[in-house]
Amino acid sequence: MTMHLDHALDILKSTGVRMTPQRYAILSYLLESMTHPTADEIYKALADRFPSMSVATVYNNLKLFIEAGLVRELKYGDDSSRFDADMSEHYHAICEQCGKIEDFDYTPLTAVEHAAAAHTGFKIFGHRMEVYGVCRDCSKAVTH
């Protein structure tokens, strides 16, 4: 479940972050996007409205949002990081052909964390799981 923009703005305000039009646009885009965009995709989507904004500005603001706990960075392989404003416990299905990422809910696999702690002695803070396959669109393209 994605948080509402007003709640995200309250969190930023409470951490002393000044809200600029660019920050507002980046955060709004992320909260509305279901595509887990890259920084470059965010930049391209907002470039017309903010011609003076650079990719570095997008990266810096994403870093700020990550530190505030509003966004998570998804690093998969060598591709560019993708960003997700849905901070709820959920997992990702990733298409190996087009790179599309879709969210899916499943009971959190806390047993894995407990087993890891028991076997390693680590203090476990969380885990990440993704499944790989071919999305519906790519499957249709292959069969036609």
Number of domains in the chain: 2
Find the domain containing 79 and state its range. Answer: 5-84
Q: Residue 1's pLDDT is what? A: 45
Residues 98-103 have a mean pLDDT of 87
State percent of the chain over pLDDT 70.
Answer: 94
CATH of the domain at 101: 3.30.1490.190
Q: Residue 134's pLDDT is what? A: 94
The answer to whether 50 and 21 have CB atoms below 8 angstroms apart is yes
Say whether both 129 and 66 belong to one domain: no
Does position 29 have pLDDT exceeding 90, yes or no?
yes
Say whether both 104 and 75 belong to one domain: no
Residues 108-123 have a mean pLDDT of 92
Beta bridge partners of 38: 82
Reported as a single tens digit per residue, the pLDDT across 58-87 is 999 999 999 998 899 988 766 679 999 888
Sequence-ordered list of residues with C-beta below 8 angstroms from that of 70, at least 6 positions apart, any chain: 3, 8, 11, 12, 27, 85, 87
Cα–Cα distance for residue pair 4/45, rounded to 1 Å: 20
Say whether both 18 and 63 belong to one domain: yes
4 confidence band (pLDDT: 50, 70, 90) = confident
What tokens does 27 get?
A: 């955060």
Q: Which of 14-23, 63-72, 122-131 has the highest mean pLDDT?
A: 63-72
